[in-house]
Structure 1
Amino acid sequence: MKKLALGLIAFAALCSATTQAANCVYGCPTGKSGQVVTRSIYTISNNATTKFADWAAYQVTSATIDGPSRTRTWKADPSITAANTLEPADYTNAAAQLGTDRGHQVPLAAFSNTADWATTNYLSNITPQAAELNQGPWERLENAERVIARSGQPVFVVTGPLYEWYFGSLPGADESHIIPSGYYKVVIAVISGTVKASAFIMEQDSARADNFCSKEVTIDEVELRAGINVMPTLSTTIQAPVERSYGGLKSQLGC
């Protein structure tokens, strides 16, 4: 019985590692010490101080998108201690007073055709994101990810918040928290054996009409400002030129 139990534990660990690898193309980001939660469609690193994920990693494919219309039923993350995450009541009056949406880091639309789509509505995957940003350039960049995936090319994404200036506080929250001042997103694809990537940073005060293409930065800048290594297992000889360059997926993203 003991051998069976140990075998099951080892099998569970292997499954978790395999799933994480599927979500993170060259290793999940390093540099943060939060609680890492891996699910079938994404991996996040929860920050107990901010109450939001420091990073989220996911893979979009033609099979994960274009499912039926899905609902947004917000729930606290059952895998995270209540003291380290938010619950739905914490967002009371946030839209009216802050002008924010409940913004997905891992977008629901990217996984509407999967069995675990509802886990994108866990509040560990949500931040108070300015409505102008969420419904404007951020949404258009997420749409562009799905355009690439729809063509048959899998897309890997690493996204997360920045904390560089004070944005505000949730008026209904009963836990301490820190709302992001902006967000980064790195879009990665391996095309004909070549690693191509484009990175973007968008501030909370972005206008709805802003063009996401104008928000492009290098991955090096994202890593510097976010304090992470986006692709830690990618060889240095390949990683260095990819991370210091612009426009790796420019044409594929419609820029």
Structure 2
Amino acid sequence: MKLKVLCFTAASLWSSFSLAANCVYNCPTGISGQTIERSIYTLNNNSSTKFANWVAYHVTPATINGPSRSRNWRSDPSISSSATLEPSDYQDAHATIGTDRGHQVPLASFSNTSDWAMLNYLSNITPQASNLNQGPWARLESAVRSYVSTGQDVYVVSGPLYEWYFASLPQADESHTIPSGYFKVVITDVNGWVEASAFIMEQDTSRSSSYCSFEVTVDEVESRSGLNIMPSLESYKEGAVEGQLGGLSSPLGC
């Protein structure tokens, strides 16, 4: 009996560590959904929209710069089929509404990990406009990795916004809501010294746009998304971190 108790406690401790490892100052709160934690990311799935309310991940020098990885799409085995999409739902999407299968947690940020294939679960994918996905959004994600390559690990919280109608997947056989835009919050914590930069980009953003021009405060992301991005951040730090622009502008190339 004692052995069973010890094993249960160890498993609980590992689960808590894994969740904490992906989120800084706890994972976002404010929108209900199914939270799934994995070794390289944590996400909160919305059974109504069929997409994640938010994803949280921790990029380090050890997770980047791996080999090129394939995009082998699969429904998430941890989510009911009624609460997520399947690969066939994306058929004709690019030709009809001009979208890619856009990773919320980028594949390249974890290409050097053994669990990279989990990023191709459709719970981590949304129909993202090609110009956005391959333009400023991709350049922002690349800027994050460039910063990490200097030796600085970062925490990221990213997710969708639903502020206007964009489109619907032409071949989807179940209800869903495609995001009108996306937010990304990039955070560093060096011995308790916290800095952050946040960005919001709309689906109709042009391919040539600079991601730097879309920087906003964390407070604005929270106001527009309904989330508390860092719920356990000490109150005396909130104004300096969440209410200010430019915390990581320079390291991110802005």
1:22 aligns with 2:21: yes
**Map of 1:179 onto structure 2:** 178
Q: TM-score, normalised by structure 1?
A: 0.97
* Counterpart position of 1:165: 164
In 1, distance between residues paired with 2:112 and 2:63? 5
1:144 — aligned with what?
Answer: 143
Q: Structure 2 length as normaliser, TM-score?
A: 0.97
Deviation at 1:106, TM superposition (A): 0.2
Report the Cα offset of residue 172 of structure 1: 1.0
Secondary structure, in 3 states, of the residue corresponding to 2:43?
strand
User: Any idea what SS the aligned residue of 1:183 has?
Assistant: strand
Separation (CA, whole Å) in 2 of partners of 1:159 and 1:5: 38
**1:218 corresponding residue in structure 2:** 217
Deviation of 1:146 after TM superposition, in Å, equals 0.3
Letter in 2 for 1:73: N
Task: Tell me the CA shift for residue 193 of structure 1.
Answer: 4.2
SS at match of 1:55: strand
- Hey, what does 1:71 align to over in structure 2? 70
Which string of whole-angstrom CA distances, capped at 9 and with x for unpartnered residues, describes residues 49-84 of structure 1? 000000000011100000011100000000111110
| Identity rate, percent | 63
Q: Give unpaired runs (5+ residues) of structure 2.
A: none
Q: Measure how far apart 1:16 and its partner are.
A: 1.4
Distance 2:81 2:143 in 1: 35
For residues 132-189 of structure 1, the C-alpha deviation after alignment (integer angstroms, 9 at most, x for no partner) is: 0000000000001101110110010000000000011111111110000000000001
Cα distance between partner residues in 2 of 1:121 and 1:7: 35
Moved over 3 A (4+): 2-10
Which amino acid is 1:162 matched to?
L
Whole-Å separation in 1 of the counterparts to 2:9 and 2:228: 28
Q: Which residue of 1 aligns with 2:117?
A: 118
CA distance in 1, matches of 2:36, 2:54: 11
- Name structure 1 gaps, 5 residues minimum: none
Cross-structure match for 1:101 = 100
Q: Cα distance 1:3–1:51, how it changes in 2: closer, same or farther (>3 A)?
A: farther
By how many angstroms is 1:239 displaced?
A: 1.7
SS in 1 for 2:15: helix
Helix, strand or coil: the match of 1:65?
Answer: coil
**Structure 1 residues 238 and 82 mapped into 2: Cα distance closer, same or farther (>3 Å)?**
same
For residue 162 of structure 2, what is the amino acid of its counterpart?
A: Y
- Measured after TM superposition, the shift of residue 240 of structure 1 is 2.2
Who is 2:81 aligned against? 82
The answer on 1:43 being equivalent to 2:46 is no
Q: Secondary structure at the match of 1:232?
A: coil
Deviations 1:71-100 (A, max 9, x none): 000000001111100110010000100100
Counterpart for residue 209 of structure 1: 208
SS at match of 1:59: strand
Could you tell me how far apart the structure 2 residues matched to 1:150 and 1:41 are? Answer: 18
**Equivalent pairs, count:** 254
The one-letter code sitting in structure 1 at the alignment partner of 2:111 is S
Deviation for aligned residue 1:8: 3.3
Partner-residue secondary structure (3-state), 1:15: helix
Give the partner amino acid of 2:30: G
Letter in 2 for 1:222: V
